Amino acid sequence: MTAIANRYEFVLLFDVTNGNPNGDPDAGNLPRLDPETNQGLVTDVCLKRKIRNYVALEKEDEPGHGIYMQEKSVLNQQHQKAYEALEIKPEAKKLPKDQAKARELTAWMCGNFFDVRTFGAVMTTEVNAGQVRGPVQLAFATSIDPVVPMEVSITRMAVTNEKDLEKERTMGRKHIVPYGLYRVHGYVSAKLAERTGFSDDDLELLWRSLTNMFEHDRSAARGEIAARKLIVFKHDNPMGNAPAHRLFDSVQITRVEGEQETPARSYQNYVIAIDREAIPAGVSVEERL
DSSP 69-133: S-TT--HHHHHHHHHHHHT---BTTB--SSHHHHHHHHHHHHHHBHHHHHHEEEEESSSEEEEEE
pLDDT in tens, 172-226: 788 999 999 999 999 999 999 999 999 999 999 999 999 999 999 999 889 899 9
pLDDT above 90 (res 31): yes
Please give the Cα distance from 219 to 222 (Å, whole number).
5
Q: Using CB atoms within 10 A of its CB, is residue 161 exposed (0-12), middle (13-18) or buried (19+)?
A: exposed
CB 171 within 8 A of CB 183: no
pLDDT in tens, 91-119: 999 999 999 999 999 999 999 999 999 99
Please give the Cα distance from 205 to 113 (Å, whole number).
14
The confidence band for 168, taking pLDDT boundaries of 50, 70 and 90, is low
AA identity, residue 243: P
pTM of the model as a whole: 0.93
Beta bridge partners of 152: 174
By C-alpha distance, which of 54, 274, 44, 29 is closest to 174? 29
Q: Can you give the pLDDT at residue 243?
A: 96
CB 242 within 8 A of CB 280: yes
Q: Helix axis angle, 75-86 relative to 99-112, nearest 10°?
A: 120
